[in-house]
Structure 1
Amino acid sequence: MDGLEARELAYFVAVAEELNFSRAAQRLGIAQPPLSRTIKQLERRLGVLLLERTSRKVTLTAAGQVLLHEGRRALEGLAAAARRAQRAGQEDHRLVLVTKAVGDGGMLPEILAAYESEPEAIAVDVLFCGFGEQAALLRGGFADVGLLHGRPDLTGLDSEDLLVEGQVVILPARHRLAGRAAVTLADLDGEVMPRWAGLLQDDAEGPEVRDAGQLMQLIAMGRTVAILPESARGYLGGDVVCVPVLDAPPTTMMIAWPEQSRSPALAAFVRVAAGVAARRGKGD
């Protein structure tokens, strides 16, 4: 069997996501008959039924569900490869670092300063993103390296742990717990916690938050409180306070990059970041 074509995958993914040939054709900007023919040809080539069709609906078979999952990844990989190639071909090649605004553990200025002295160093652009977006931007070819917290999906990425931090709760300055030296998770029972955009959370019912600025404003307004890494202390304004949460599990900051990268500039950046983190850990 010949390899799958990107066009075939794109057509199938559109139908599988819409579960309607007419809507999929409209989305792709093509007529419905050639779309239907392509899907049938694809099923014949694979030797499996991908879609169950009736007069009322279209549903995915088990094989179709697998191809939808793998097809999405393949199409995303092709798009990412094109972006990386385009960026690598630019005369002014730069390293793009992605992080959320309060997600560098307070180490980024030191990392950037140390990196400048590396023989392989190139200019670094810092791309600030919303919560939980770093891994997707790395996989999509929009960035070369990222600083991440928690337990993100690292599919397609290599990573190295940099820093383990305790956690603090960020509260409005007039909150009932604002004057405490420390709190426990039990003290926070009943508090409204934010929902992080793009992340699944079963227990959060507060406002959806996309970036640090929005989060701090919502906290100052008394709409929510949030548990963040201890290094977030350095980004607080006067209308919010932070209090250590004694029994909150530690959180890990890591550096991540696309797997199988061969960039000397990227390797130097990862090495420098690990060195800065190691010195921080020793209290230097």
Structure 2
Amino acid sequence: METRELRYYVAVAEELHFGRAAQRLGITQPPLSRAIRQLERRLAATLLERSSRAVTLTEAGAVLLREARAALDAIEAAERRTRRAALAARGQADVVLAIKAGASSDLLAKLLDAYAAEPDAVTVDLLLCGIGEQERMLRDGRADVAMLHLPYDTTSGFDTEELRTEGQVVVVPARHPLAERAHVRMADVADLADLPTPRWPGRDGSYPDGPGPEARDHAQLLQLIALGRACLIAPESCRAQLNEDHAAVPVLDAPKITTVIAWPPHSRSRAVAGLVRTAARI
């Protein structure tokens, strides 16, 4: 299979519409349709079920979508990491750290200060991510290292070092009756019909169906909570990001959150090694 074919297929499989996929790729529809048919012949598999009304993935098509995304991520990662290695060889090294916006800010501040004091420290470029984006940034080479949060993020294929485990709280408007409680349970949060949890965009930019408001970033989410439009279950350390418009109430039966620092196991970057050592030490 060729990289071009995989890119074409991923566009169609994500859009589920040949016209939109062609527009996204900047080509016309006929060569796109021919490329997909050629790919199906080569694999001896039907990847897409086509009708006059819809395009859907077959089971084989769903498998190829997962594998094609991983393959394209690996190719992009190889390109980006090679370019950064060339910069490092010219004495222009830096390290890109992917973090979820608003998460573990106290831990991150300690890490950056401690690492900057190391004699061989390099510049740390922060890559602020939306919900769950750090993992993808690390896999496709946009980041050298990332802070991930278990059990929500996946660390499969990475080396990791555990940094902290903490409980969770529900963040509600300060004026909400729940703010007066010493603690709550998950069932109490589920019963908050007036404060639904927000909806985040998927990889294709669309929002899932549901009653909660659409949120694009951490700042917007905090504003929605302050306005009484949403609530959020988050790690205990999120308290550092809140103001007088918010209240954080411990959720006794919420799963514990473990923050880890993760990096590709084949990384040979001295900067990454130094950052990880510092994170483990603090």
* Shared fold per TM-score greater than 0.5: yes
Q: Percent identity?
A: 54
2:234 partner amino acid: L
Contact between 1:145 and 1:258, CA under 8 Å: does it hold in 2? yes
Q: Secondary structure at the match of 1:77?
A: helix
Question: The residue matched to 2:178 in structure 1 has which SS?
Answer: coil
1:210 aligns with 2:207: no
2:70 counterpart residue number: 73
Q: Does residue 130 of structure 2 align to residue 130 of structure 1? A: yes
- Quick check: 2:145–2:264 contact (8 Å CA) kept in 1? yes
Q: Equivalent residue for 2:266?
A: 260
Give the match for residue 169 of structure 1: 170
- 1:193 corresponds to which residue? 196
Counting only pairs closer than 5 Å after superposition, residues 88-103 of structure 1 correspond to structure 2 as 88-90=85-87, 91=90, 92-103=92-103
- Structure with greater Cα Rg: 1
* Amino acid aligned to 1:89: A
TM-superposition CA deviations, 1:228-277 (whole Å, max 9, x none): 1111111211221222223323211121223422212112211211221x
| SS class of match (1:142) | coil
Partner of 1:85: 82
Q: Secondary structure of 1:131's partner?
A: coil
Distance 2:30 2:177 in 1: 65
Give the direction of change, closer, same or farther, for the CA distance of 1:249–1:6 in structure 2 (3 Å limit). Answer: closer
Question: d(CA) in 1 for partners of 2:52 and 2:199?
Answer: 40
Say which SS state the counterpart of residue 233 (structure 2) adopts.
strand
Aligned residue in 2 for 1:121: 121
TM-score between the two structures when normalised by the length of structure 1: 0.79
Q: Deviations over 1:12-70 (max 9, x none)?
A: 43444555656655544445555455445545544555556788876655444433331
2:8 counterpart of 1:7: no
Distance 1:28 1:211, change over 3 A: closer
Counterparts of 1:233-248 in structure 2 under 5 Å?
Answer: 233-248=239-254
Note the C-alpha offset of 1:143: 1.5
Q: Which amino acid aligns with 1:80?
A: A
Alignment pair present for 1:220 and 2:226: yes
Say how many residue pairs are matched.
273
- 2:74 is paired with a residue whose SS is helix
| Alignment TM-score, normalising by the size of structure 2 | 0.80
| 1:271–1:43 Cα change, 3 Å | same
Deviations 1:199-252 (A, max 9, x none): 799997322333221122111111122221111111211221222223323211
Q: Give the AA of the match of 2:138.
A: L
Q: Report the AA paired with residue 176 of structure 2.
A: H
Contact 1:171 1:219 in 2 (8 A): yes
Letter in 2 for 1:193: P
AA paired with 2:139? R
For structure 1, the residue ranges without an aligned partner over 5 or more in a row are 277-284
